Amino acid sequence: MEKIKTLIKNSGFQGELEDAADIIDQYSHDASLFEVKPELVVFPKDAKDIELLVRVVADNKRAMPELSITARSAGTDMAGGAINDSIIVDFRRYFTNIELITRTSAQAQPGVLYRDFEPRTLKHGALMPSYPASRDLASIGGMVANNSGGEKSLEYGKTKDFINELKVVFSDGVERLVKPINKSELDVLMAKDDFEGHVYSEIFKLCEDNYDLIKAAKPNVSKNSMGYTLWEVWDRDSGIFDLTKLIVGSEGTLGFVTDINFRLVPARPHSGLLVLFLKDIDKLGELIPTVLAHKPATFESFDDQTLLLSIRFMPSFLKLLGWKRFIKLLISLIPDGWQLLRGIPKLILMVEFNGQTEDEVRTKIKNLHSELKGLKAKYEINGFEEDATEGKSEKFWVMRRQSFNLLRSKVKDKHTAPFIDDLVVNPQYLVEFLPKLRKIINKYHLFATIAGHMGDGNFHIIPLMKLENKAERDTLLPAMKEVNDLVLSYHGSLSGEHNDGLVRGPWLENQFGKEIVDLFRQAKHIMDPQEIFNPHKKANATFEFSYSHIREHF
């Protein structure tokens, strides 16, 4: 690695290179259950630095086959997508400019944190709505790399649906603009006698020659982050070829995104929340389509374990919220405290409506409330709240959004083990599916919270485990196999938002079959023929590498 460090420095690279033991340790982990130690961490200052770095790695790959580069921003990835055993490229130190915001679009660099990005868009009355639950921690570059979604995906879709254009450094070390193009524009690019022309020609040929097979491979669920999204790259009917659809969600395995132009939507000024306490889920199959027919902005859920965890660690919210909001939170819990004396609900459902006026939102809430009464389901309804970010309603959002952080930091001798954390099953199957899922969790004696996006059937199951204990480590693969087999038996996806990374990459063939995974590998080879970008992920993931890197110490 000393030779590579010298070559990088001599290339004109302006950023920093660090390999001190504490830095290496810090970048050996993300929010996943894996540990992979890099040899070097680099901090590029601009796109020119990225181009130089890619060229150095590409020029020396043949002589040093293990050489590779992996992009990283906030490091909140739960699948192990932001760690590797060679060079980590940190975008958080310098790629933090928010360059331009209007009412309809925003341009920014990948190291920008979403929590800094959203206030700037809201000043223009606009929103980029595909933020994840980790909105206070995540970067927009990570959102692009994972094709993130969240509580508003039910109404708006995922990150791929909000990309106008990207700047991407390809594997030949050249930054290029990537955006949707028509067939005439595609023909011009395919005629170019350079690497860009090669990429467009070969990806188009791959999509065209296997058109029906690729289109049929699209998972029949509302959201998916498994594999490469080949089915959305080329559309014969519209004549649009969109390489951004392949790059978004690719975990930095096809190139490095250096700049992002998002499409924004108008931010609606008023919100209302209807909260449902379910003591059993027998009526869930009837309740879900009734709620969805009213077209809510969000339809979220969390289970009894999440609720009890939040109550247990209520003092932790003081640091999170500050005194003023914390006192409001405590006061707002009193009415529901009386509610909880009647018995802990199995599920808490949160149905949010947005609108331009308070009356518009109130009408939507009342209409749904009225129809739900007719179901005669065993639930209690907490009435309309004018603003879902303040007062009484805030407690539910805090519990929903912060459950993972509570688990990660507050439970003694146990650690979050996100290995079945992002499954998707269509909502009509949930009445059957959820009890079977809980049965598997209980079979392996896992303490696990279940929270997620009820309207999408997308659930985040976060077990707590003592992975230093071999007996507990040995349950990971069999438990994961049972859960994954269950998900696929209901025609679901193993990941709706969190992506493959190390944890799910080896399972791609289980979901898509060998023929489609071979197409994924071909797409990877076209764009990254020397495999310099983020190895051991996506179609090149293996059980051997992934599961030999589970953390032994926390």
* 232 shares its domain with 262: yes
Provide the residue range defining the domain that includes 108: 99-266
pLDDT score of 229 = 97
Average pLDDT per consecutive 10 residues, the chain (554 residues; last block may be shorter): 95 98 96 95 98 98 97 95 97 98 98 97 96 89 95 93 98 98 98 98 98 97 96 98 98 98 94 81 84 92 73 57 52 47 71 89 88 58 36 51 55 76 93 92 87 88 86 93 97 95 97 98 98 97 95 78
* Cα(243)–Cα(237) distance, integer angstroms: 17
What is the three-class DSSP state of 258? strand
Taking the CA atoms of residue 182, residue 187, residue 189 and residue 191 in that order, the dihedral angle to the nearest 10 degrees is 180
* Cα(402)–Cα(384) distance, integer angstroms: 23
Q: What is the CATH number of the domain that holds 237?
A: 3.30.465.10
Burial class (CB in 10 A: 0-12, 13-18, 19+), 222: buried
Structural domains of the chain, count: 2
Q: Tell me the pairing of strands 447-453 and 458-465.
A: antiparallel
Q: DSSP string spanning 267-302?
A: PPSEEEEEEEEES--TTHHHHHHHHHHT--SEEEEE
pLDDT in tens, 244-261: 999 999 999 999 999 999
- Token pair listed for 136: 């206070």
* 231 shares its domain with 309: no
* Cα–Cα separations (whole angstroms), residue 307 to 418, 435, 548: 19, 18, 34
* 120 shares its domain with 247: yes
* 159 shares its domain with 253: yes
pLDDT score of 335 = 44
Q: What is the CATH number of the domain that holds 339?
A: 3.30.70.2190
pLDDT score of 160 = 97
pLDDT score of 293 = 94
* 301 shares its domain with 163: no
State the residue for tokens 């003591």.
Answer: 279
* 216 shares its domain with 332: no
State the residue for tokens 């805090």.
Answer: 398
Domain boundary among 207, 242, 266: 266
Helix, strand, coil shares of the chain, percent, nearest 5, are 45, 20, 40
Asked whether 139 and 114 are in contact (CB, 8 A), the reply is: yes
In a domain, 552, yes or no: no
pLDDT score of 320 = 55
In a domain, 280, yes or no: yes
pLDDT score of 392 = 46
pLDDT score of 278 = 81
* Cα(108)–Cα(505) distance, integer angstroms: 29
pLDDT score of 403 = 55
* 177 shares its domain with 210: yes
Burial class (CB in 10 A: 0-12, 13-18, 19+), 164: middle
* 111 shares its domain with 199: yes
* Cα–Cα separations (whole angstroms), residue 313 to 316, 355, 393, 411: 6, 34, 18, 9
Which own/partner pairs from 396-399 qualify as long-range (CB within 8 Å, at least 24 positions apart)?
A: 396/273, 396/275, 396/348, 396/350, 397/350, 398/310, 398/317, 398/320, 398/321, 398/329, 399/302, 399/306, 399/307, 399/310, 399/348
* Cα(365)–Cα(359) distance, integer angstroms: 10
pLDDT in tens, 466-508: 888 889 899 999 999 999 999 999 999 999 999 999 999 999 9
